[in-house]
Every structure is written in structure tokens, then in C-alpha cells.
């Protein structure tokens, strides 16, 4: 058996690496997951970005992770509410099971957005509710949710109240204190425990 020279070894290594990268690309694509093997994508920076105070740019990088977690959590909660309300009460659940005050507030938010001339955020009315209103919808229609949230309504309310408190700084561009970062992580874990 002949031994490979250095150049051949490098070529084989490069080929093996290319094949491995190709397979990892396929896994990421097929399972819609980021394995964290690429350098973080830099957002397209406009020339004005560097004019912002470096302290704010650093805070933004740190807060981006918390925003991403909360975005996924809130979107999944909204989706879950729609799904369970539809299953329990049918197509007219919004008109029949959501308090008039919440519906009026949603309509006001929709009209304000339409009047702005900006692209509307969603076709779904649930996306125009506040997080507190979302909690009220669940609480007032608990029978649609009680089999999912096995730990009970009080646990649900406590956890969603905590999430709503934690949402404030994230949604309003304030840095989370270290203790609140820990509290966010624990509260998100509590959310998933509600369904165990």
C-alpha cells in the first residue's frame, strides 16, 4: 500500500470536509435547524448604524437572544389559543367567546394600523391582542385549555403574569438585568412544565 503524499492528504481532507458540510447543510435544511456552524450573519448595516453609541449596539446584541425567545414563545401561545378555541367552540369563537372590550380594542388597533399606511401586521385578530388580553381569553374560556394546562388555572395565570412583566423591557428596548435573564429562563421552563 502506497502512502499518500501531503498534497493528496490535503485534497482528501478537503473533500471529506466538503462532504460533511454538504450533509450538515442538508440536516439544517430538512429539520429547519441552525447548528451554529456558520459565523453569525451580520445584519445589513446601513452607514448610520455605526453612529449609534457602542453601548447601545452591545445591549442590542445581548437583548436579541431574549427577544428571539420571547418572539417564539408569544407566537406559539397565540397559535395555540387559536387552535384550541377553534377546536372547542368552532369558527365563531372570536365573536362568541372573546369579551366585547377586547374585540373593540383589537378593532381599534387594526384601524390605527390601516390608517398609518404601513403594511398590516397580520390577518389574524389574535395578533392585535395584548399579552394581557391573550391571558384573559384563556382564563375566561378555561374549559378549552384545562386538559392542556394540567397544573391548573392559577399556575397558568402566575406564569403568564410573570411573562408579561418580563416582556416589558424586551418589547420596549430596555436591557434585562442579570436576575431578570435568569427569571426569563426559569419562567419559560415553567411555561413548558404547565403542559406536562
| Shared domain check, 148 and 70 | yes
Q: Is 124 a domain residue?
A: yes
| Shared domain check, 122 and 153 | yes
Q: Is 44 a domain residue?
A: no
| Shared domain check, 158 and 74 | yes
Half-sphere CA count of 108, side-chain side, radius 13 A: 8
| Shared domain check, 1 and 93 | no
| Shared domain check, 111 and 15 | no
| Shared domain check, 82 and 6 | no
Residue 185 has a pLDDT of: 94
For the chain, give the DSSP string: -PPPPHHHHHHHHHHHHHHHHHHHHHHHHHHT---S-SPPPPP---TTGGGS-HHHHHHHHHHHHHHHHHHHHHHHHHHHHHHHHHHHH-TTHHHHHS-HHHHHHHHHHHHHHHHHTSPPS-S-GGGGS-HHHHHHHHHHTGGGTTTT-TT-HHHHHHHHHHHHHHHHHHHTT-PPPHHHHHHHHHHHHHHHHTT-
Per-residue pLDDT of the chain (196 residues; tens, 9 = 90+): 456 677 767 766 766 676 777 788 788 778 877 777 765 545 456 667 778 888 888 888 889 999 999 999 999 999 999 999 999 999 999 999 999 999 999 999 999 999 999 988 999 999 999 999 999 999 999 999 999 999 999 999 999 999 999 999 999 999 999 999 999 999 999 999 998 8
| Shared domain check, 59 and 152 | yes
Domain hosting residue 137, numbered range: 51-193
| Shared domain check, 55 and 97 | yes
Amino acid at each position: 500500500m502506497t502512502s499518500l503524499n501531503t498534497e493528496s492528504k490535503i485534497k482528501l481532507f478537503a473533500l471529506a470536509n466538503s462532504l460533511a458540510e454538504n450533509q450538515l447543510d442538508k440536516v439544517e435544511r430538512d429539520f429547519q435547524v441552525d447548528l451554529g456552524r456558520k459565523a453569525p450573519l451580520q445584519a445589513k448595516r446601513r452607514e448610520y448604524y455605526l453612529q449609534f453609541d457602542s453601548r447601545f449596539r452591545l445591549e442590542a446584541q445581548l437583548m436579541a437572544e431574549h427577544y428571539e425567545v420571547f418572539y417564539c414563545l408569544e407566537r406559539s401561545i397565540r397559535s395555540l389559543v387559536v387552535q384550541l378555541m377553534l377546536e372547542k367552540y368552532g369558527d365563531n369563537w372570536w365573536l362568541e367567546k372573546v369579551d366585547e372590550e377586547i374585540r373593540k380594542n383589537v378593532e381599534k388597533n387594526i384601524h390605527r394600523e390601516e390608517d398609518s399606511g404601513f403594511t398590516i401586521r397580520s390577518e389574524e385578530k389574535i395578533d392585535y391582542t395584548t399579552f394581557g388580553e391573550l391571558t384573559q381569553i384563556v382564563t375566561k374560556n378555561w374549559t378549552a385549555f384545562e386538559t392542556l394546562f394540567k397544573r391548573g388555572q392559577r399556575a397558568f395565570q402566575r406564569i403568564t403574569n410573570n411573562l408579561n412583566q418580563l416582556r416589558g423591557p424586551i418589547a420596549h428596548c430596555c436591557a434585562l438585568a442579570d436576575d431578570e435573564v435568569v427569571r426569563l429562563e426559569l419562567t419559560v421552563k415553567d411555561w413548558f412544565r404547565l403542559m406536562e
